[in-house]
Amino acid sequence: MASFGLQALLRPGLVLFVIAVACIDYGNGQIEFPVFQHKFPRSVNTMTFDGNAYIQFDFSQLENYFFRRTPIERIQFYFSTWETDGLIFLQQYRGRKLFLAMRGGRLVFVDDDGTRTPNEIVIGNRRFDDGRWYFFEMKRRDMEANITVTDLHQNQQPQQRTYIFRSETQFILPGLVYLGGTENTPESTDAIVNRNFQGTIADVEFTSYYSQTPKLMGRLQVLLSTLRNSSNTGVEIKVEEWTIDSTYGPKPRPRPTTTPRPTPAPVTTITLMDPNAYAAVSERFIMRPGSSIELKFRTITREGLLMYTGSLIYGRNFTTLEIYDGKLYHTFNFNGMGTNRTLISDSEVSDGIIHQVEVRYYNENITIYLDGTRKVINLKRGVTLPDNLEKVYLGGFETYVTLPWHTWARVGYQGCLEDVRVNGALLDF
């Protein structure tokens, strides 16, 4: 037996919430997730993003009873895209962020509680940047989440993944929910995702289930359905009729055809031939959990300073990458609590081959990737990330006399530097 009431709340601003309250008698006292049925034909609310836009929902506008603690919840929606990268949705409440994104054609879920290295999991073993329609569903029971992604065009087993949250989690909270990106996606995701989503999202639903009696379960549902008087350009919102095509589900989206505006090609590669030459980023390096410096390099010179940034206090706060005796080293000292010098490469990198290195800074460690191989350097107890660093210097420094003595390379780097990114932003030399 089921009974429900439907209520539409139109709040001031942009968002129309459609809220359904239902009570379901399962007869055996066991609370289970109802199976979602994909029924066609059907009407759906679609939101198509151009890659520069986003939609923000403020859940604090909901009534307080939506935020009751509940053991089981569900998030579900449809999505389709041709793009390899982009932030699909992000939930933010206090210091906690949960978000889903396309990265390299794969689907990645990130749990970031703001105190430790974010947990990243890849969902499934396939790419999703093919213009097909997929159904995403995350079902939480206490601390465990089951994630499934179903291809609506092929009747096959869905891609599945199980994730255990590190702390108590709730989906419906009085915070912000973003679709398609944020006002600054690299900053919102600590440079884990650098682009907004380009594609279509449809029928986004947040549902919480709670036990009323041993045999009765209640359901609170929030449908993110439409916008009113939106000033956020770059989003097309409409109701579409989905029908069954020759395979299964709605027809795949055609690849968008756009004529890009002519823009000057950025200069992302430089060659340093003079050991006294260097490049410097004009702005101060803001180091926070998730901050990163990434670059590609190619050289045959066995000594050279690749990267340096530090504070104005000698030897107290700095971080460097350098090549010495042909091998790559990372050196740092935070808060004046001792210098750490770590060998990153087991073999020489001054071999004339392109190498890629990425340094990520977190509250508890520094994680370095060299050609895909990860090395983690744990920070000592009491060490915190510095907030007073100056410019990032690439390929050299103003005067090596003022460098900390722990930096052994005393000559500028000679070779090529490519695709340098600071906190996810690609440098244009």
Please indicate, yes or no, whether residues 287 and 229 belong to a single structural domain of this protein.
Answer: no
pLDDT value at position 35?
A: 57
Secondary structure (3-state) at 416: strand
pLDDT digits 0-9 by tens, 345-360 = 989 999 999 999 999 9
CA distances from residue 28 to 25, 31, 206, 282 in whole angstroms, order as listed: 8, 9, 25, 66
Burial annotation 206-228 (CB, 10 A radius, 16+ → b, else e): bbbbbeeeeebbbbbbbbbbbbe
Examine residue 262 and state whether it is found in any structural domain, yes or no: no
Is the entire prediction scored with pTM above 0.85?
Answer: no
Please indicate, yes or no, whether residues 295 and 231 belong to a single structural domain of this protein.
Answer: no
Examine residue 209 and state whether it is found in any structural domain, yes or no: yes
Please indicate, yes or no, whether residues 286 and 233 belong to a single structural domain of this protein.
Answer: no
Query: What order do you get walking across the sheet with 176-179 strand by strand?
Result: 55-58, 176-179, 86-93, 96-103, 106-112, 119-123
When pLDDT is cut at 50, 70 and 90, the band that residue 258 belongs to is low
Examine residue 385 and state whether it is found in any structural domain, yes or no: yes
Examine residue 303 and state whether it is found in any structural domain, yes or no: yes
Please indicate, yes or no, whether residues 282 and 167 belong to a single structural domain of this protein.
Answer: no
Q: Domain of residue 204: give its range.
A: 2-31+38-242
Please indicate, yes or no, whether residues 90 and 166 belong to a single structural domain of this protein.
Answer: yes
Region 171-180: mean pLDDT is 90
Look at 13 and 59; give whichever has higher pLDDT: 59
Q: What one-character-per-residue DSSP string does 152-196 give?
A: TTS-SPPEEEEEE-SS---SS-SSEEEES--TTHHHHTTTS--SB
Domain count along the chain: 2
CATH for 397: 2.60.120.200
Examine residue 215 and state whether it is found in any structural domain, yes or no: yes
Please indicate, yes or no, whether residues 209 and 330 belong to a single structural domain of this protein.
Answer: no
How many residues are recorded in the chain? 429
Share of the chain above pLDDT 90, in %: 26
Examine residue 261 and state whether it is found in any structural domain, yes or no: no
Q: How far apart are CA 47 and CA 179, in angstroms?
A: 9
pLDDT digits 0-9 by tens, 194-209 = 899 999 998 888 888 7
Q: What one-character-per-residue DSSP string does 230-247 give?
A: ---TTEEEEEEEE---SS
Look at 65 and 161; give whichever has higher pLDDT: 161
Examine residue 131 and state whether it is found in any structural domain, yes or no: yes
